[in-house]
């Protein structure tokens, strides 16, 4: 039986008084044939295993190499050395798996994040990735806890769909048709009637449309699942496969939606601060060290923990898109032509440099922008009634976070059937394809709203990792799907 082991995290919380314990883990280092630093992934701290001279066979000790896996039984005693509270005096050491130290790619030294991405199958065994992925876990757990406490129903929306929820056309096709002999119809087009589902299908870009069906029955639901975007954006904030949390609420307007989103973000940050202090302290130090290499003006004004505290203790700035354009237009940054994309005026889509200017330079806190021009937002957003002439807006809201940019996108939904149909016709979405979606507007339609939080961007925000590829286990990006 294997399960009689104690996790190192729990072990280190004990008072060492000669108790007998068994630990299992992977060797980080082995010094002087005496001190094994053993790690089991429950914490970045290692247990120091003390090998008393002559107590173990020499053949066995030769096999204690970096990343070999061990089972160690012994007694815990207060440590005589500095740097750790206790030692585990080994009575029995068993090698569970050998590791060829010559070939093992992770050496006990600092590796670059770029190098570690190439060995993503092993990078969890480093302190940085240990901390990041424990925090990622905690955030995921906190998300379920938040919605459960609020009485939301967790809904699993389909991964394969026939619709494009965002209408942006950035989809991965799902098909079993042969590539070399694709069946064609009379018009010479690919005949998807012969495909697996009898129609063209793709990986979902969002669970929202199905989420709305749930909300108009349960009142409040949320999804938390993988979503896929075939956008060719090779940036530090885009993945082709990412996880999204999408709550959808009946009887909510845009303001209710913003309030929920802000409360939600603060709740999950607070949860991680309370439960993952040690890992966050480690990550804060890592970030501070990394930023020391940057010129002064590129460094963050606040440390990681300070930033998180600040977000918890301050309201997010809320302003309309129209006011944001005004601020951007009048900014010295714009007047000195420092934006790569100049501010051309009302109606333009905001680039991430604009969003980051608002958040990092102007307001210096998270910002919620709302009431965007209809033309740059998705078809399902509610059309505002009180717009300025020639400037139709929708009840959309985006939350922008320091260092990240857009972290949440959401809106109140258009619940009025004729308005929704008119909008769909206007931008060329066939009504019959979304007949089931439109049915919610036919049978007991209600004001409702929702949003999507990009999970990896949230993990980036909390861990301070600058590249999104370093907060998901096995990133999928253009040109890369290893592991």
Shorter beta-carbon distance to Mg ion: residue 396 or 434: 396
Which residue in this structure is represented by tokens 């990006």?
477
Beta bridge partners of 242: 227
Which residues inside 145-204 make contact with ligand 4AD, applying CB under 6 A?
165-166
Binding residue (CB under 6 A) for ligand 4AD from 16, 25, 410, 464: 410
Between residue 246 and residue 285, which ones bind ligand 4AD under the rule CB under 6 A?
246
Sign of the four-CA dihedral 155, 160, 162, 167 = positive
By CB under 6 A, the count of residues binding ligand 4AD is 23
Number of Cβ atoms within 10 Å of the Cβ of 297? 5
Tell me the CA distances in angstroms from 381 to 22, 362, 370, 423, one per residue in order: 58, 28, 12, 10
- The least CB distance from residue 398 to Mg ion, in Å, is 6
Q: How far is the CB of 409 from Mg ion (least distance, A)?
A: 3
What CA–CA distance (Å, rounded) separates 144 from 119?
A: 31
Please name every residue paired with 400 in a beta bridge, in sequence order, or none if there are none. 367, 406
Helices (H), 292-408: 304-313, 321-330, 332-335, 352-356
452 near ligand 4AD (CB under 6 A): yes
Instruction: Please give the full DSSP string across 27-40, using - where no structure is assigned.
Output: EEEEETTTEEEEE-
**Minimum distance of Mg ion from residue 283's CB (angstroms):** 27
Q: How far apart are CA 449 and CA 70, in angstroms?
A: 52
Query: Minimum CB separation from Mg ion for residue 167, in Å?
Result: 12
244 binds ligand 4AD (CB under 6 A): yes
Choose among ligand 4AD, Mg ion, none what residue 452 binds, the Cβ cut-off being 5 to 8 Å by kind: ligand 4AD
Q: How far is the CB of 428 from ligand 4AD (least distance, A)?
A: 19
Out of 16, 25, 409, 464, name the contact with Mg ion by CB under 5 A. Answer: 409
Question: Of 79-87, 369-377, 405-413, 426-434, which segment contacts ligand 4AD by CB under 6 A?
Answer: 405-413
Rounded to a whole number of angstroms, the minimum distance from the CB of residue 350 to ligand 4AD is: 12
Question: Which member of 239, 265, 280, 283 binds ligand 4AD (CB under 6 A)?
Answer: 239
277-291 and 127-149 are packed helices; what angle lies between their axes, rounded to 10 degrees? 130
Collect all residues with Cβ–Cβ distance below 8 Å to 401 and sequence separation of at least 6: 359, 366, 407, 457, 461
Tell me the three state secondary structure of residue 57: coil
Which of 242, 252, 321, 357 is close enough to bind ligand 4AD by CB under 6 A?
242
Q: Which of the ranges 147-155, 201-209, 402-410, 414-422 carries the binding residues for Mg ion, by CB under 5 A?
A: 402-410
HSE toward the beta carbon, residue 220, CA cutoff 13 A: 14
Q: Are 407 and 261 in contact (CB under 8 A)?
A: no
The least distance separating ligand 4AD from the CB of residue 241, rounded to whole angstroms, comes to 8
- At its nearest, how many Å lie between Mg ion and the CB of residue 333? 23
Choose the stretch contacting Mg ion; rule: CB under 5 A; options: 216-224, 388-396, 404-412, 468-476: 404-412
CA angle 54, 58, 60 (to 5 degrees): 115
Interface ranges with Mg ion (CB under 5 A): 409
The binding site for ligand 4AD (CB under 6 A) comprises 165-166, 206, 208, 229, 231, 238-239, 242, 244, 246, 406-411, 450-452, 454, 456-457
């Amino acid at each position: 039986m294997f399960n009689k082991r104690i996790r190192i995290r729990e072990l280190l919380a004990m008072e060492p008084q000669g108790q007998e314990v068994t630990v299992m883990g992977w060797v980080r280092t082995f010094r002087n044939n005496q001190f094994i630093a053993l790690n089991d992934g429950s914490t970045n701290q290692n247990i120091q295993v003390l090998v008393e001279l002559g107590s173990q066979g020499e053949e066995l000790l030769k096999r204690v190499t970096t990343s070999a896996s061990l089972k160690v039984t012994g007694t815990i005693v207060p440590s005589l050395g500095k740097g750790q509270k206790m030692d585990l005096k080994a009575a029995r050491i068993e090698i569970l798996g050998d590791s060829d130290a010559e070939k093992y790619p992770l050496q006990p030294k600092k590796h670059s994040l770029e190098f570690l991405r190439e060995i993503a199958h092993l990078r969890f065994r480093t302190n940085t990735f240990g901390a990041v992925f424990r925090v990622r876990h905690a955030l995921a757990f906190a998300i379920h806890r938040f919605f459960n406490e609020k009485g939301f129903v967790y809904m699993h929306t389909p991964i394969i769909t026939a619709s494009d929820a965002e209408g942006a056309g950035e989809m991965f096709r799902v098909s079993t048709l042969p590539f070399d002999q694709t069946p064609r119809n009379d018009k010479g087009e690919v005949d998807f009637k012969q495909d697996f589902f009898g129609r063209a299908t793709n990986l979902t870009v969002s669970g929202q449309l199905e989420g709305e069906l749930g909300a108009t029955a349960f009142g409040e639901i949320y999804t938390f699942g993988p979503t896929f975007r075939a956008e060719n954006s090779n940036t530090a904030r885009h993945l082709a496969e990412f996880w999204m949390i999408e709550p959808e609420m009946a009887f909510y307007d845009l303001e209710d939606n913003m309030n929920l989103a802000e409360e939600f973000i603060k709740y999950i940050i607070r949860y991680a601060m309370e439960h993952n202090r040690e890992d966050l302290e480690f990550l804060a130090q890592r970030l501070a060290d990394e930023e020391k290499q940057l010129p002064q003006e590129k460094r963050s004004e606040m440390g990681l923990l300070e930033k998180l505290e600040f977000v918890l203790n301050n309201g997010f700035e809320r302003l309309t898109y129209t006011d944001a354009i005004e601020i951007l237009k009048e900014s010295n940054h714009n007047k000195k032509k420092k934006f790569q994309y100049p501010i051309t005026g009302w109606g333009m889509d905001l680039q991430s440099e604009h969003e980051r200017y608002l958040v990092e330079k102007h307001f210096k806190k998270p910002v919620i922008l709302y009431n965007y021009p209809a033309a740059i937002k998705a078809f399902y957003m509610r059309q505002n009634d009180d717009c300025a002439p020639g400037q139709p807006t929708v009840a959309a809201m985006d939350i922008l976070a320091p260092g990240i940019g857009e972290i949440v996108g959401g809106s109140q939904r258009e619940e009025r059937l004729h308005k929704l149909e008119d909008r769909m016709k206007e931008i060329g979405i066939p009504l019959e394809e979304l007949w089931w979606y439109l049915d919610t507007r036919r049978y007991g339609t209600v004001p409702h709203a929702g949003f999507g939080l990009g999970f990896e961007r949230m993990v980036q925000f909390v861990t301070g990792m600058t590249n999104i590829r370093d907060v998901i286990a096995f990133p999928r990006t253009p040109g890369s799907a290893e592991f």
